[in-house]
Chains A and B, each alone.
Chain A
Amino acid sequence: MAKTRLVKGGVAFFVLALFLLPLLASLAFAFQSGFSAEGWAALWRHPQLWPSLWLSLATGVAGTVLALIAALLIVASLFETRFWQNLSVAMGAMLAVPHVALAVALSFLIMPAGLIARIIGLFLQWQTPPQWVTTHDPFGIALTLALVLKETPFIIWVLAGLLSREDVKLNFANQRSAAFGLGHGSGSVWLRIFIPQLFGNLLWPLVIVFVYGATVVDMSLAIGPTQPPTLATIIWADINSEQVAHNARGAAGTIFISFSLITVLGVAWALTKTLKPLWRALLTEGPSTWKVPTMTGQIKHSSFIGIYALLLVLLVVLSLAKSWPFPQLWPETSFHSWGQISHQSGAVVTSLVLAFTASGTALILLVAWFETMPHHFDRPLLWASLALLGLPSLFVGLGQYQMFLYLGLTGTGLGLFLAHLLPVMAYMMIVLAQGYRAYDLRYMVTAGSLNASLLSNLLRIKWPMLKAQIWAAFAVGFAVSVVQYIPAQLVAAGRFSTLPMEVVTLTSGANRSLLAAFSLLLTVPPLLVYGAAALMGRSRWRHT
């Protein structure tokens, strides 16, 4: 008994000391700067405040809803087909592509001087690019498109992870047979049986997708509207400014956008409550032979893979392009960008070591937490994680940096490690919590009743059953760590250099070619880890 208490105390201590307390302290430091009257007054005076807020929220909502629909269609039409096994591998690969890389490549595809225009121009004999408004359009359509492209694989990946769990798969297969027997078509089964059950697990991922879409900066700069821009980019510029007055406006803006996001989420919640009777009515309407539009789903799935492949090829070509004026279809190539990159091996090693240690530590801490703490203790960790992910990273990063300064951790390896651990653990918490907690504990009871010790129970029953989620969480943590920039940059204080630091500084002035090359370099390690995770987490049974 005393030993258990000691273990519990230890786990709680480490999770609090390494995660929750630094996170809350960072937020406190950050928010303290947001309570200046001048900052708020300046924010209200900003002529672009309302239109840009509208743009941010609209692109966030549209991106989330469209990505959800696309993801559900694809999952429903591929569930338990021969494509299913490889789906999470494909989606993991897509997840590994950094947001900004996707935006750069997409923008080169659709912009007036881009690939599509060049191909059309070939037939129409264009010598100068057309004056299309395809990127940086005032309505944020291009930005929404980029968000849908980036977030659909994430939602599919979450769903596939869940539906690949043996117990869930079995359950669903049984339920489906039952529903078929009652005269329901596959579409009806998804709508009335699977989606309602899955929705609880999709809630947090959807919140992340929405919050991310509404606050994204790098993508918005690359492809989003400019006049007015999205609110996040205005705040970003303010927080980046050397002037304290602008910083205060930016801090006020951050609080403002956070509350706006909470309001939207509140409205969404209220809507689901109001629409519940309608939903119930739909659920209990009785059998309908409506089928999942399998063809569209499969076409969508293939076109997703096709677009990603095209964008990756474009990135490769862009990384080799020296100059590529309109209307040439093929650029003048050189390995100059890759030559520059070859000097960054030190940064690559630092980044990899950080990624492995941070995601490994986070995984151990989280699993220890889930094993020792009751379910309802997760709440504060989840909320803190969401807060961390939902706020601009510069804002939180500055707060964290100020706290590390007081603790004397800036410029130290420990400080750098913690700066990576926080976001890594926050993402992993959200990815892992639901799946881990949803585990049917009767399996453990059963194994216990078969005389298995706790350790053997965990090693041989529970963790193998949860391996897909555990590996996936590790891969997510790894990917998050590899692209970690702002907090790390501040805390490293120039004493350490990681891959993204090199990327951002080199690309702050240089050309698209270098950006493309670095984006590819940033894509490779997470790609390998996602691939490995998908293989490790693969079900033992090839088909059902």
Chain B
Amino acid sequence: MLTRRSALRFGAVTALSPLVSNFAFAADWAAVEAEAYGQEVFFNAWAGSDAINSYIAWAGDEVSKRHRVKLTHVKISDTAEVVKRVRDEVKAGKTNGSVDLVWINGANFKTMKSEKLLFGPFAETLPNFALVDVKGKPTTTQDFTEATGGMESPWGMAQFTFFADGEKVPKPPRSMVELAAFAKANPGRVTYPAPPDFHGVTFLKQALVETTNDASIFARPIDKANFDTASKNWLVFLDEIRPTLWREGRQYPKSQTEITQMVADGELLIGLTFNPNEPANLVAAGILPKTTVAWQYEKGTIGNSHFVAIPANARAKAGAQFVANFLLSPEAQAKKNDLKVWGDPTVLDMAKLKPEEARLFAATAVPGSVSLPGPAILEPDASFVPLIESTWLAHYAEG
């Protein structure tokens, strides 16, 4: 229901957006391509995964082969660093900025967009954007309910996913209520990261979505008073699950990676991630056992997309657009989708691809890949995040 409503809203947005004639479109793109030739593009991207780094290196080889574009991967541990760097550069009046392309979504995007730190709109002028599944995957133009407005180009898909060793968890809990029952039966073996960790906040959002009767509230901004009313059941749920959590809910791990490590060690039973293919990657890397299973909730889990954007003060804007377009190409998307490479789900619409292109995306199940999928639920409006964080902190701050 939530999905349909947002899709409708999305339709209204596209209807209002100016139509660009095909001719002007092609001519503009040819000019961008010509300018991009030989440019060096500094791509600032989170580099915490070997698989992702290798993929970016591959993309760099390809754009260099095709158009002499030199792609340099600036390895980042936290995208907020890039937001701050661009903000400071713009403030200092530096026009030839150090960042040409940044891997981004969510709060970082919202901040950069609202502070006018981004170049664009450019996404919809990329030729390959026409292949994006904007209808079936509404998060490709709605980044945490913030309309992208062409200020960032979709790159991949993410959906909240749980994982465990199938031998220890033969019947995975497929809703928050089932998770609470599981935690009660296995006290001290389930937990979630403390906010403001992104995964922790998503866990709390998921719980809020499942404990609220009126799903329509999530599509609109909310104030404190309305949030307090809407979150009553949520707090009851959190209070109930808390004593059955790891360390009786007095301490929480700080990050999702910490939880993953504890699952691998055997201290926790259930892990969580935003990348549905991360468990499979971890199995392939030998960190999780081959008996690992991954699943989503029956009624759906929160999903979103991740994007690439170009800072307002980028030096190689044309080169950056060329790279963004390449990243949307069926070839690049298929390679990224491949579990042996990265396993990041595509943003493209299979129906819009040529049959031989679509075949590239055929997936085979591997140990750890999602065996019990659920639909993607849109993120609640961004105004929920600070309220979730502060309410949680007020209740569970002192352990």
With a cutoff of 8 Å between Cβ atoms, the chain B residues found around residue A401 in the complex are 85, 88
**Within residues 147 to 169 of chain B, which ones have a CB less than 8 A from any CB in chain A?**
none
Q: Which residues of A contact B253 (CB under 8 A)?
A: 136, 226
Nearest A-chain residue to B72, judged by Cβ? A494
With an 8 A cutoff between CB atoms, is B298 at the interface?
A: no
- Determine whether B397 belongs to the interface, using a CB cutoff of 8 Å to chain A: yes
Cβ of B129 under 8 Å from chain A: no
Partner of B75, one of A131, A322, A501, A513: A501
Alpha-carbon distance between A138 and B248 when the two chains are bound, in angstroms: 12
Q: Mark B224-260, 1 if CB is under 8 A from A, else 0.
A: 0000000000000000000000010011111001001
**A405:B262 contact, CB within 8 angstroms:** no
Closest to B97 in A: A493
Q: Which of A47, A112, A243, A508 has the most CB of B within 10 A?
A: A508
User: Closest CB-CB distance, A122 to chain B, in whole Å?
Assistant: 15
Contacts of B111 in A (CB 8 A): 242-243
In the bound complex, do residue B80 and residue A240 qualify as a contact, i.e. CB atoms below 8 Å apart?
yes
* A325 contacts B266, C-beta separation under 8 Å: yes
Q: A513 CA to B260 CA in the complex, in Å?
A: 13
Bound-state CA distance A537–B264 (Å) is 46
Could you say which residues of chain A place their CB within 8 Å of the CB of B251? 133, 136-138, 225-227
Chain B residues contacting A510 (CB-CB under 8 Å) are: 48-50, 257
With A227-B252, A504-B77, A505-B76 in contact, is A511–B287 under 8 Å at CB? yes
Out of B257, B289, B399, which one reaches A228, CB within 8 Å? B399
Out of A226, A406, A512, name the residue touching B252 (CB < 8 Å).
A226
> Chain B residues with Cβ under 8 A from A131's Cβ?
188, 247
Contact of A325 with B77 in the complex, beta carbons under 8 Å:
no
> Given the complex of chains A and B, what is the CA–CA distance between A327 and B267 in angstroms?
10
Binary interface encoding of chain A residues 125-144 relative to chain B, with 1 for a CB under 8 A from any of its CBs, else 0: 00011010100111000000
In the complex, chain B residues 340-399 whose Cβ is within 8 Å of any chain A Cβ = 393-394, 396-399
| A336 CB-CB contact with B under 8 Å | yes
- Complex Cα gap A433–B73 (Å): 42
A507 proximal to B (CB < 8 A): yes
CB-based contact B250/A138 at 8 Å: yes
Chain A residues with CB below 8 A from B261, complex form: 511-512
Inter-chain contact B267/A113, CB cutoff 8 Å:
yes
Q: How many residues of chain B have a CB within 8 Å of chain A?
A: 60
Does B9 count as interface, using CB distance less than 8 angstroms?
no
B42 near A494: Cβ-Cβ < 8 Å = yes
Q: Which A residues lie within 8 Å of B250 (CB)?
A: 138, 227
Known interface pairs A227-B397, A493-B85. Does A509 touch B46 (Cβ–Cβ under 8 Å)?
yes
Asked if A326 contacts B285 (CB within 8 A), the reply is no
Closest to B262 in A: A113
Q: Which of B44, B84, B267, B398 contacts A326 (CB 8 A)?
A: B267
Residue contact A493 to B98, C-beta cutoff 8 Å: yes
Is A490 touching B81 in the complex (CB atoms < 8 A)? yes
Closest to B49 in A: A509
Query: A196 in the interface, Cβ–Cβ < 8 Å?
Result: no
Question: Does B210 make an interface contact (CB < 8 A)?
Answer: no
Q: Which residues on the A side are within 8 Å of B49 (C-beta)?
A: 509-510
Least distance between B307 CB and chain A CB atoms (Å): 15
Separation of A438 and B86 alpha carbons in the complex (Å): 48
CB of B89 within 8 Å of the partner chain: yes
Chain A residue contacts of B94, Cβ below 8 A: 405, 410
Contact call A227/B74, Cβ cutoff below 8 A: no
**Interface residue? B178 (CB, 8 A):** no
Q: Which of B188, B196, B257, B267 contacts A237 (CB 8 A)?
A: B196
* B-facing residues in A477-505 (Cβ within 8 Å): 489-490, 493-495, 497, 501-502, 504-505
Contact residue among A138, A241, A326, A502 (Cβ-Cβ distance under 8 Å from B265): A326
Q: How far, in Å, is A518 (CB) from chain B's closest CB?
A: 12
Tell whether, in the assembled complex, residue B75 and residue A240 are in contact, meaning their CB atoms are under 8 Å apart. no
In the complex, A227→B398 CA distance in Å? 6
Contacting residues, chain B, for A440 (C-beta < 8 A) = none
Residues of chain A within 8 A (CB-CB) of B397 are 47-48, 51, 227-228
What is the distance, in angstroms, from A244's C-beta to the closest C-beta of chain B?
8
> With a CB–CB cut-off of 8 A, which chain B residues contact A229?
254
- State how many angstroms separate the Cβ of B159 from the closest Cβ of chain A: 18
Given A48-B398, A221-B254, decide whether A505 and B266 contact each other with a Cβ distance below 8 A.
no
Which chain A residues border B79 with CB–CB below 8 Å? 242
A-B contact pairs, 18 of them (CB 8 A): A51-B398, A113-B262, A137-B251, A221-B254, A227-B396, A240-B78, A240-B80, A242-B112, A326-B265, A327-B266, A402-B91, A490-B81, A505-B46, A505-B48, A505-B75, A511-B257, A511-B260, A511-B287
A positions within 8 Å CB-CB of B? 46-48, 51, 111-113, 128-129, 131, 133, 136-138, 221, 225-229, 233, 237, 240-244, 247, 322-327, 332, 334, 336, 340, 398, 401-402, 405-406, 410-411, 489-490, 493-495, 497, 501-502, 504-513
- Having A324-B264, A507-B48, one finds 13 other A-B pairs with CB under 8 Å, namely A47-B394, A128-B189, A129-B265, A226-B194, A227-B250, A247-B84, A323-B287, A325-B264, A325-B289, A494-B44, A505-B77, A508-B77, A509-B46
List of 10 A-B pairs having minimum Cβ-Cβ separation, nearest first? A509-B48, A494-B74, A326-B266, A508-B77, A493-B98, A322-B286, A113-B265, A242-B80, A505-B75, A508-B48
